[in-house]
């Protein structure tokens, strides 16, 4: 709470400084545009620039507070910042009007009219003005540092530093006052340019090394201006007044004052004609009275110029009452002009002259003070009116901004609601499309299942018909054999032997040779050993002659051959999958290729040995992108050989990364490596994963 109160106090202090600075800026602004002489205008411009810099520093502090969240009420800060920016724009206008480029048409024309002495004087005054500006800037910087060090608890700890800064400020102000007086003397042609240029190097070195301890040890502020002999020149606006013989009347001074607008050459000649004049030093003004033919107003322009050190501005004396001359007025001269004051009859001495001038100057000062007071009151009223108008304008602008901000917020809210409605509509449409796709897929699956069931039934019916047909053929063949056996007694003995040894075999393809050269054999030709010989395929004995049936050795060899063939056939017994139709790859969008390209998959991929050479990534690709094929089965079998296990819930292959931490009859828990086929197509590690055995695919045999 104390911090907020302290911050508010600081803000109020800065706002008060802003108001004071704006008032001072307006006063200097009026002085700039009311100044009659160029040197006065330049001085006021320098003061105006110094004041606008102070306001700019305050503006930077205000901008910092505006951007801070600690300040709640920011309206006064915003108004103060805008007021400062308005004054900055005014200063830019003033600077643009008074600044003349060196190589512009106006600047070149001005340079052509100036003589070398005038150019040198301008350069010197410009240099003096620059030095004064730098010194003022140094003073401002030191004052800011002193103010910063004096705030809070640092005043006691930084006492030595503050004293040192105050010493620097006193040095700078001393040089500023001296340089301002020198500038007035140079502008009034009372001081030559050459001596001023001689001290330039010392002052420039002072600006660079005024903080150096070695330099301050040998520093003497009086040594800078000794060569200028300023003591012999009255810097405080003191001039010489010449007094002619007492026979000159007051009208002659009026005639001399009327010639003040003559050229510089006439001024120089008037200086040479002065003779036998009494010198009287004055401290309140300047006046020159010369003899009859001389021009007393030769320095009238210099007398009107004033400096920034506060010297009094001399006023023109009215005709007939402002000066006293001892020379009588010629008869052809003009008479005295009407005046508000009665002219003095005679000034017998320098003291009475000084009293008269002092009294008149006091009266003039009173009139000027009254006029200045009236002007100040008018300016104050005008400023108050402008401030009220600006405040009203600011309130209106703020109200307009608030209304615009509210409209923008409403528009943004409407746009946001419309966007949300569109998003909801798009989401609903996407859900509908997804549901339709799922329904279509489900219908397609049902249709495929129905077709598969119909095909399965048809296939079973065909198999049953084939089996019945084969059974009928076997029965028919047995009947034929029985008939032949009854017709041929020798052949019947062989059939009895075969039936006794191969009771369960099919005899549909057996043909026993009964040519004319085959002798008939009776039932006694078959021995009991031959009857117990074992299972023999009678189809292989179709080419056996009748004489071989009588040979016992050949009969035993044929029986063993039939038995071995029967055992081999049982090893390769067909399964239900062999009755299914071969699945051939059919591309969805076939691409036209040359005839030299293969039109069907290579049969090499049917070889299980090829899958042993493939990498893990390739096996995963075959498993996930060749579903329902023989290659998927081979890839899964190879992955299982490499210790990968398929999780039926997540449809992902897992492999142990390390030994399980927990192992039970229902699950095991530990760190596993799994293949991410959905997002990254890479292998990832899953810690503390619980693999339940109920989701383990173990029906695949290796």
List, in order, residues 6 or more apart from 62 with CB less than 8 Å away: 14, 18, 77, 80, 81, 84
Q: pTM value?
A: 0.26
CA-only gyration radius of the chain, Å: 64
Q: Which domains are seen in the chain, by residue range? A: 2-224 (no CATH), 603-695 (2.30.30.1020)
Whether 300 has a pLDDT exceeding 50, the answer reads no
Task: Please state the rounded mean pLDDT for residues 539-562.
Answer: 58
Q: What is the pLDDT of residue 455?
A: 85
List, in order, residues 6 or more apart from 222 with CB less than 8 Å away: none
Task: Please state the rounded mean pLDDT for residues 251-259.
Answer: 37
Count the neighbouring beta carbons within 10 Å of the beta carbon of residue 192. Answer: 15
Supply the DSSP string of 148-171, one letter for each residue: HHHSTTHHHHTHHHHHHHHHHHHH
Record the tokens describing residue 554, joined without a space.
């050949």
Q: What is the pLDDT of residue 248?
A: 34
Task: Please state the rounded mean pLDDT for residues 86-111.
Answer: 71
Residue 486 — pLDDT band, cuts 50, 70, 90? low
| DSSP H or E stretch at residue 647 | strand 645-647
Q: What is the pLDDT of residue 332?
A: 36
Say which DSSP state 37 is in: S
**Which of 1-10, 573-582, 601-610 is predicted least confidently?**
573-582
Whether 622 has a pLDDT exceeding 60, the answer reads yes
Whether 684 has a pLDDT exceeding 70, the answer reads yes
Whether 200 has a pLDDT exceeding 80, the answer reads yes
List, in order, residues 6 or more apart from 47 with CB less than 8 Å away: 28
Residue 286 — pLDDT band, cuts 50, 70, 90? very low
Q: What is the pLDDT of residue 148?
A: 84
Q: What percent of the chain has pLDDT over 90?
A: 18
User: By three-state DSSP, how is residue 646 classified?
Assistant: strand
Supply the DSSP string of 667-701, one letter for each residue: EEEEEEEEEETTTTSEEEEEEEEEEEGGGB-----
Q: What is the pLDDT of residue 658?
A: 94
Whether 555 has a pLDDT exceeding 80, the answer reads no
Closest Cα to residue 488, out of 510, 508, 518? 518
Task: Please state the rounded mean pLDDT for residues 236-258.
Answer: 36
The mean predicted confidence, pLDDT, of the chain is 72
Q: What percent of the chain has pLDDT over 70?
A: 67
Q: What is the pLDDT of residue 188?
A: 85
Tell me the HSE value of 680 on the side-chain side, using a 13 A CA sphere: 7
- 78/85 Cα distance (integer angstroms): 11
List, in order, residues 6 or more apart from 356 with CB less than 8 Å away: 344, 347
Whether 484 has a pLDDT exceeding 70, the answer reads no
């Amino acid at each position: 709470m104390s911090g907020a109160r302290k911050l508010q106090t600081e803000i109020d202090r800065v706002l008060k400084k802003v108001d004071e600075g704006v008032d001072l800026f307006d006063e200097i602004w009026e002085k700039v545009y009311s100044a009659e002489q160029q040197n006065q205008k330049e001085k006021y411009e320098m003061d105006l620039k110094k004041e606008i810099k102070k306001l700019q520093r305050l503006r930077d502090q205000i901008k910092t507070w505006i951007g801070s969240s600690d300040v709640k009420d920011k309206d006064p800060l915003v108004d103060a910042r805008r007021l400062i920016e308005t004054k900055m724009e005014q200063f830019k206008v003033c600077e643009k009007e008074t600044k003349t480029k060196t190589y512009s048409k106006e600047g070149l024309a001005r340079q052509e009219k100036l003589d070398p002495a005038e150019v040198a004087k301008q350069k010197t005054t410009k240099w003096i003005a620059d030095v004064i500006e730098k010194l003022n800037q140094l003073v401002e910087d030191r004052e800011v540092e002193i103010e910063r060090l004096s705030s809070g608890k640092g005043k006691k700890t930084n006492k030595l530093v503050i004293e040192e800064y105050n010493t620097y400020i006193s040095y700078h102000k001393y040089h500023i006052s001296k340089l301002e007086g020198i500038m007035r003397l140079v502008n009034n042609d009372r001081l030559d340019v050459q001596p001023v240029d001689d001290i330039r190097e010392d002052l420039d070195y002072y600006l660079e090394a005024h903080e150096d301890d070695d330099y301050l040890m040998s520093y003497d502020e009086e040594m800078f201006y000794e060569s200028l002999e300023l003591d012999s020149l009255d810097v405080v606006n003191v001039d010489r007044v010449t007094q002619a013989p007492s026979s000159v009347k007051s009208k002659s001074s009026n005639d001399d004052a009327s010639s003040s607008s003559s050229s510089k050459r006439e001024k120089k000649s008037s200086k040479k004609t002065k003779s036998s004049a009494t010198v009287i030093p004055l401290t309140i003004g300047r006046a020159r009275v010369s003899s009859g033919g001389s021009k007393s107003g030769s320095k009238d322009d210099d007398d009107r110029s004033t400096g920034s050190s506060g010297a009094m501005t001399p006023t023109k004396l009215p005709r007939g009452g402002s000066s006293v001359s001892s020379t009588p007025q010629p008869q052809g001269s003009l008479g005295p002009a009407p005046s508000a004051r009665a002219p003095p009859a005679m000034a017998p001495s320098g003291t009475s002259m000084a009293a008269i001038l002092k009294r008149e100057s006091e009266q003039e000062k009173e009139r000027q003070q009254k006029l200045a007071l009236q002007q100040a009151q008018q300016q104050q009223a005008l400023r108050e009116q402008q401030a009220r108008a600006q405040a009203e304008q600011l309130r209106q602008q703020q109200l307009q901004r608030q209304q615009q901000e509210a409209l923008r917020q409403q528009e943004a809210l409407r746009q946001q609601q419309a966007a949300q409605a569109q998003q909801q509509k798009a989401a609903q449409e996407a859900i509908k499309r997804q549901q339709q796709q799922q329904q279509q897929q489900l219908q397609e699956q049902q249709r495929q299942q129905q077709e598969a069931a119909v095909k399965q039934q048809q296939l079973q019916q065909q198999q049953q018909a084939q089996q019945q047909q084969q059974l009928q053929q076997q029965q028919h063949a047995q009947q034929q054999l029985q008939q032949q056996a009854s017709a041929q007694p020798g052949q019947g003995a062989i059939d009895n032997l075969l039936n006794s040894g191969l009771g369960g075999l099919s005899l549909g393809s057996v043909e026993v040779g009964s040519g004319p050269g085959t002798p008939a054999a009776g039932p006694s030709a078959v021995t009991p050993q031959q009857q117990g010989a074992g299972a023999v395929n009678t189809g292989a004995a179709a080419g056996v002659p009748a004489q071989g049936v009588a040979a016992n050795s050949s009969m035993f060899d044929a029986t063993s051959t039939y038995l071995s063939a029967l055992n081999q056939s049982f090893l390769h017994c067909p399964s239900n999958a062999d009755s299914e139709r071969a699945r051939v790859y059919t591309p969805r969008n076939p691409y036209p290729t040359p005839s030299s390209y293969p039109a069907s998959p290579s049969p090499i991929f049917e070889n299980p040995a090829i899958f042993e050479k493939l990498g893990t990534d390739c096996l995963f690709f075959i498993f996930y992108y060749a579903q329902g094929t023989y290659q998927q089965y081979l890839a899964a079998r190879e992955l299982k050989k490499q210790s990968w296990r398929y999780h039926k819930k997540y449809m992902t292959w897992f492999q142990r990364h390390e030994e399980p931490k927990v192992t039970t009859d229902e699950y095991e828990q530990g760190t596993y490596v799994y293949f991410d086929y959905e997002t990254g197509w890479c292998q990832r590690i899953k810690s503390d994963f619980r693999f339940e055995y109920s989701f383990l695919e173990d029906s695949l045999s290796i």
